[in-house]
Structure 1
């Protein structure tokens, strides 16, 4: 997934900070963070079908994974911005890493006790840490080097985020779906219970590895010396304050972010089960889990293509084109079978790639002093990833999984509208 700006302005460079300072080590660590939170987020797409089997859940019940994870954005984003203003960006990064590490450690008792609610609690804690990280890390990247290279550094770190979302499903499929080929229908009640316990515990190793990595990075980052002290840019005292909620293009853009994240996460959440449908590809879970890498890998490729295309075409036109293309692909995935359905749903990632940054940039355009508030509103709108997947899960349980993939089309239709008209400023 795209890296998500925090709820604070990216500050202007300070004259007191030497751009000649060697920031290679902290920048390398922050780049690793972008990779890791993409890696961790996409593991949810593996957890959903896995926990669905472990606890014998419906699609709706299994989608609570995304509700718990992305619900943290709605709950934690605003408090995270206020907290970081109090403790500073460096301590914010360290705190976010530690909280995320604790969330990963919680998967161990969740697996041992085999309690679905504890898995959901672990995901909420993990996502809370990632939310704090995202609020704190973006401004740091802009300051770790010469000001003129800030955009390049952010682009590079965001590309590493996409690399994480591409490799995460492969990692998760190998470690988590290792025993998924067992025919549970042939097992006795006692053997089935033992099998489900083994499956629940299979999540422990990957999340222990992630926990040790996150906590180790927090220690390294805490020990770094001579990092720049970031001060938020001051608002223009002569500019009349105006609430971000008074800007129509920002409010419409927040709805666009809500629906975009909801659609992207919802599609990714059900890809494994979608590819396992007899009328689609009838893939085993381990193979289907690895295929998710094509969905997120296409988003990584699309991000680089999008940068090149924006040199020739207006972003809002590319946004509309991408939304229409995604709708057509979803229609094909929902109504066809075999390779057409498989590659149609995976190719949607290519067109998802530019949506978040384009909607975000159009939404905060000309907000002035309200930019910080607007950024916070957009960050909270990421909670769409918690709302849309359960709705699709409910549809999948009642009308069928494949046909439920028609739901995200409604999200993309709105995004196309935003690219045509919704982005316009009030004075245009």
Structure 2
């Protein structure tokens, strides 16, 4: 019975086994989770080292997530012409190049070179996500696409744990006069990414096409991608989700240290890793298996409603209650990105790669929310959390509409 379940998850209807490609693709989720986890440490570190306000420190996230907006369509076009494998290799090489760019940036003693390096890394991450997310959904039966993507994204959650943990240890734990503290975690991840790129170069991967591509192409019917209403709502929902997630992650350390002044930055980064990010990973793992008996849109409805309640408590500043609500929000956020992504690609057929690019563009929500939250919450960080509250309200609406469309 276990064998049957395994085959149904990573095997194609024609009997092909996609387990090895699935494992390789899943490793990418771990790597970019680590890169994103480091950002939350950089945000707080830049406030001190470069004397930035909370709004100005949002440039860390802006320089990263704006790359998703600028690169998503070119990444999709590259994948359409050259395939998923070459796109993944290009993304990994850009990722490594940006990571190693932290070394010359350390000599310039300015925030700008680091922000440029982060932009290069993000260009690579955008290409990887444009390839890996849809690739994961098609490495097996269509009915288990959301479940399979949530399983891959669980390892993304592991990367989010390791990012603030390693970053907090190497950056906050370094001596104050160590100008190369920022480079250490990036040299580490850059070296690993190069090794993974070599592995992909010498590994044969199947070029996947959706089952109904040929049927749609031969029919001669050309329908605008924007007439797929669920897809359009998914783009907006992904923008809102990334705005909420990035804002919460970015100012988690600020909120914790303001609510409990006895907590240091390095202690808050450990709470972020072992508390918030651990719940995030657990949520992804349990969410993937929960979808065996509950539809993705149903689960998304309940989780978004739970996060509306959590953010309401966070903005209310009720001491320990608000802190626990903040921690719990990580669990309920966990399944949102992959579930919105999978629901947005439902029935897109020949437009899957293009639709994937537009949904990845929604990640640009993370470029703007930290600066907005930092500006609103400069005096009181709790007020800034109204931004993710509004975002979760729209995600709830999206989930309910998916339920009505696909009961």
In which range does the TM-score fall when normalised by the shorter chain? 0.7 to 0.9
When residues 304 and 28 of structure 1 are mapped into structure 2, their CA distance, relative to the original with a 3 A threshold, is: closer
Tell me the equivalent position of 1:192.
none
Give CA-to-partner distance per residue, 1:3-42, whole Å, 9 cap, x none: xxxxxxxxx9697xx9479x74x65543332211111111
1:410 pairs with 2:390: yes
Match of 2:221 in 1: 240
Aligned to 2:311: 330
Q: 1:369 to 1:88 in 2, by over 3 A?
A: closer
Contact 1:275 1:288 in 2 (8 A): yes
Aligned-partner Cα distance in 1 for 2:66–2:217: 34
| Corresponding residue number in structure 2 for 1:42 | 37
Give matches, 1:237-316, under 5 Å. 237-238=218-219, 240-277=221-258, 279-293=259-273, 294-316=275-297
Cross-structure match for 2:182? 203
CA distance in 2 between counterparts of 1:29 and 1:367 reads 25
* Residue 395 (structure 1) shift: 0.6
Q: d(CA) in 2 for partners of 1:148 and 1:333?
A: 37
- Alignment of 1:177 with 2:156, yes or no, is no
- Alpha carbons 1:280, 1:337 under 8 Å: kept: no
Deviation at 1:138, TM superposition (A): 4.5
Shift of 1:287: 0.6
Contact 2:147 2:292 in 1 (8 A): no
Q: Which moved more, 1:83-92 or 1:406-415?
A: 83-92
Structure 1 distance, partners of 2:142, 2:340, is 25
Contact 2:244 2:369 in 1 (8 A): yes
Structure 1 stretch 254-263 or stretch 329-338: which is displaced more?
329-338
Asked whether the equivalents of residues 126 and 360 of structure 2 are also in contact (C-alpha less than 8 Å), the reply is no
- State TM-score, norm by structure 2: 0.86
CA distance in structure 2 between the aligned counterparts of 1:75 and 1:208, rounded to whole angstroms: 26
The equivalent residue for 2:370 is 389
- Assess if the C-alpha contact under 8 Å between 2:148 and 2:288 holds in 1: no
Is 1:131 aligned to 2:111, yes or no? no
* CA-CA distance at 1:111 after TM superposition: 1.9
Deviation (angstroms), 1:410: 0.9
Paired position in structure 2 for 1:9 = none
Q: 1:380-422 CA distances to partner (integer Å, 9 max, x unpaired)? A: 111111111211111112x521221122111111122222337
Is 1:228 the equivalent of 2:206?
yes
* Cα 1:55–1:324 shift into 2, 3 Å: same
Hey, what's the Cα distance between the residues in 1 that align with 2:348 and 2:209? Answer: 20
Question: In the alignment, which residue of structure 1 is the partner of 2:8?
Answer: none
Instruction: Give the Cα separation in 1 of the matches to 2:23 and 2:339.
Output: 26
Larger radius of gyration: 1
**Residue 5 of structure 2 aligns with which residue?**
none
Q: 1:400 maps to which residue?
A: 380
Displacement of 1:81 in angstroms is 1.4
* Alpha-carbon shift at residue 366 of structure 1 (Å): 3.4
- CA shift, 1:280, in A, is 3.5
Question: Are residues 1:353 and 2:364 paired?
Answer: no
Q: Which residue of 1 aligns with 2:162?
A: 167
C-alpha distance 330-202 of structure 1, shift in aligned 2 (>3 A)? same
Identify unmatched segments of 5+ residues in structure 1. Answer: 1-11, 181-194
Q: TM-score when scaled to structure 1? A: 0.82
| Alpha-carbon distance in 2 for matches of 1:309, 1:87 | 36
SS of residue paired to 2:81:
helix
Provide the C-alpha distance between the structure 2 equivalents of 1:27 and 1:422, rounded to a whole number of angstroms: 27
- In structure 2, the partner of 1:91 is 86
Q: Are residues 1:344 and 2:325 paired?
A: yes
Gaps of 5+ in 2: 1-10
Correspondence 1:102-113 to 2 at 5 A: 102-113=97-108
CA contact (8 A) 1:363 1:423 kept: no
- Structure-1 residue corresponding to 2:3: none
Higher deviation after alignment, 215-224 or 366-375? 366-375
1:63-95 Cα shifts (integer Å, max 9, x gaps): 111111111111111101111233333222221
CA apart distance, 1:272: 0.8
Aligned partner of 1:68 in structure 2 is: 63
CA contact (8 A) 1:252 1:423 kept: no
Separation of aligned partners in 2, 1:89 and 1:153: 18
- Give the equivalent residue in structure 1 for 2:400: 420
Residues 252 and 418 in structure 1, CA contact (< 8 A), matched pair in contact too? yes
